[in-house]
Each structure stands twice: as structure tokens, then as C-alpha cells.
Amino acid sequence: MPDRFAGLRPYTVARIGLGRSGPGIATADHLAFRAAHALARDAVHASLDLDAMEAALAPLGLPVLRVESRASDQSSYLTRPDLGRRLADPSVALLRERAPGEEIAILVAGGLSARATASHAAPLLALLVAELQRSGRRAGPICIAPRGRVALGDEVGALLGARLMLVLIGERPGLSSPDSLGAYVTMRPAVGRTDADRNCVSNIRPEGMALPEAARRITWLIDQAMTRNISGVTLKDDSDRVLVAGPAEAKALPSSIDS
């Protein structure tokens, strides 16, 4: 029989039109599923190599600080999400030693896919930092945490006195995306912030949202957040309007909080 899905497969990694062998799927499709599941499990259980991460970030020329959450190992990190949201006491003391008043602080965390963080965080930051510096924004320091959740950035940003917090973190892997990176932008970070207070750019990876496009969207969100002093549900990602209307016309478009 002709494969009716052959024309669609080049456009998606989704499992469509799987072959069948009796009541089950074909052996090749079954083995591909098992392999994808193994990659996802490996991504969740892997730890971020801090030495390699620090070396990858060094060319940016920004201070790099190692911090730890209250999750002392990967097992406790996976079973106790709350421990990954708060800093361990030594890390609190480390950040308190710095004079507060940063403009943009950055947290790079292993999250649920250290592979994603190790592969994409440094090259994405290279694009972002260059754009921020061109626009006159001050970025840094960069904190790196092997077992941090998104909310860990709230405490990091608060201790640094940052006006805006950017968190880059490995996302929960799917069965076709074990290396997906997420970026979260939060104005006025403080312990107790919720997801409604942040903007997220997700699925950053070569097969998803390419790094240059992710950098463009994140830079736009940071600029708008700092210009309008808002983030989260009150800040809609209208960056595509700039591409359609052009920068000059986009300035005249109504803001998301007015519509």
C-alpha cells in the first residue's frame, strides 16, 4: 500500500501514520519509540557539568557564579520540586556578598534536561548579550545551578537586586525533544512570584525554535518589559508585529494592556 503520510513526515517529528503488525505497531516504530524514551530518561537524570558550562560562558566576559539549590542530588531534585526553587544557605551568603543593583541578572539551570542547557545556553547567551549591549542594557552576572527550577531565579534576582531576571533552563523532555531549552523573563524578581508574572519562550533547539529567532524574541520581551515595567500576563509577545509592520509602524500599534 502507498504511504499516505510520506509527504508529511519531512515537516514533523511527530509519530504519524505508524505501521502496524497485527494488533501492535511495527517493530521499527516500536524500537524508535523505545530509543526516544531512553533519550528522554537520560536527559532527566543527567547532571549539568559546571566546569564545562563555565568554560562555555567565559568568552562572554561576564562574571559567572556557581550556586546551588536546596536539592543536594538529582534524586531529591526530581522528587522534591520545592527544593529546587530555593537557594542553599551558602549560595544565599555568596549572593549577599555582592552589592545589589544589577539591571539584568541571568540564571542558567540544568532543569529537567541538562543536555539542553549544555548544548544551547551558551550560544544563545552569546546572541542575547551582544544584542543587549548594543541597546545599552547591562547584563550579568550569570549564575549557574545544576539543579534549579524556574522559581530559583526569583530568589537569585531578589538577592542581586536585579530589575529583571532571565532564566535559561532545560525543559521537561518529550519523546522527540530531549534537548529543549526554555527562557523565562521576570520583572522585579522576588520569592513568591508565580508563572503569571513571567514570559516564556519555549522549545529552543535546532529542530524547534532556532537560536537566532529565540534571541530576537527574548530581546524584544526584555526591552518591552524594562520599558513598560511589566512582565507576565500583562505583556503579550507582539514581536511578530514588528516583522510585519516594521519598527516605525510597530511603535504606533496599541499595547497589549490597552487592547
User: Angle 58-150-234 (CA atoms, 0-180°, nearest 5)?
Assistant: 110
**Residue found under cell 514588528:** 242
Res. 127: pLDDT tops 60: yes
Q: List the Cα angle 32/33/38 in 5-degree steps.
A: 100
pTM of the model: 0.84
Is there a contact between 89 and 70 (Cβ–Cβ < 8 Å)? no
Q: Binning pLDDT at 50, 70 and 90, where does residue 97 land?
A: very high
Q: How far apart are CA 246 and CA 251, in angstroms?
A: 9
Please compute the mean of the pLDDT values over residues 29-34 and round it to a whole number: 83
pLDDT band at residue 256 under the 50/70/90 scheme: very low
Q: Which of 146-150, 158-162, 250-254 has the lowest mean pLDDT?
A: 250-254
Separation in Å, CA 46 to CA 43, 78, 107, 209: 5, 11, 19, 23
Q: Can you read off the three cell numbers belonging to residue 239? A: 514581536
Question: Grid coordinates in use for 160?
Answer: 542581586
Residue 7 has pLDDT above 90, yes or no: no
60's CB contacts (< 8 A; 6+ apart) are 122, 125, 126, 129, 142
22-50 burial by CB neighbour count: b if 16+ within 10 A, else e?
Answer: eeebeeebeebeeebeebbeebbebebeb
- The angle subtended at Cα 126 by Cα 137 and Cα 223, nearest 5°, is 30
Mean pLDDT of the region 166-185? 91
Domain boundaries, the chain: 50-229
Q: Among the CATH numbers 3.30.420.10, 3.40.50.11240, 3.30.310.10, 3.30.70.20, which is that of 50-229?
A: 3.40.50.11240
Q: With a cut of 60, say whether residue 258 has pLDDT above it.
A: no
